Amino acid sequence: MKEKTLHKDNNLKSSDQVCSLILYNDNFNTFDHVIKSLVEVCDHDFIQAEQCALIVHLRGSYEIKTGPKEILGAMCRSLNAKGLSSKVTT
């Protein structure tokens, strides 16, 4: 049997680039506000948003969503407008 070599495709469009939306802990926002924001902005269900909020609280930060940079950028701006601290990373 002959081995095949796989090569990473470097021709990704910027819109196809998978990025991460990171949420950071703070001492200002309540769990209820964080959960409500994640449900509204990131389309999480209540349980997922609650778990993300708890992980962010315990670890200091957490990757709450992955996807195209443009979409996550819009979500990041919305979360920041709600007083949360978030950032998109590649």
The CATH number linked to 66 is: 3.30.1390.10
Question: Considering the domain boundaries, does residue 6 fall inside one?
Answer: no
Residue 28's domain spans which residues? Answer: 16-89
- Asked whether residue 53 is assigned to any structural domain, the reply reads yes
Band of pLDDT at residue 13, cut at 50, 70 and 90 = low
Residue 4 within a domain: no
Confidence of residue 68 (pLDDT cuts 50, 70, 90): very high
Domain count, the chain: 1
Is residue 10 domain-resident? no
- The verdict on residue 2 lying in a domain is no
Report the phi/psi class of residue 67: left, alpha or beta, with left for phi > 0 and alpha for psi in -120 to 50. Answer: left
Q: Give me the mean pLDDT over the 1-8 stretch.
A: 45
Q: What is the pLDDT of residue 15?
A: 52
Sheet holding 18-24, edge to edge: 61-68, 18-24, 85-89
pLDDT at 17: 81
* Predicted confidence (pLDDT) per residue in 15-46, tens digit: 568 999 999 999 999 999 999 999 999 999 99
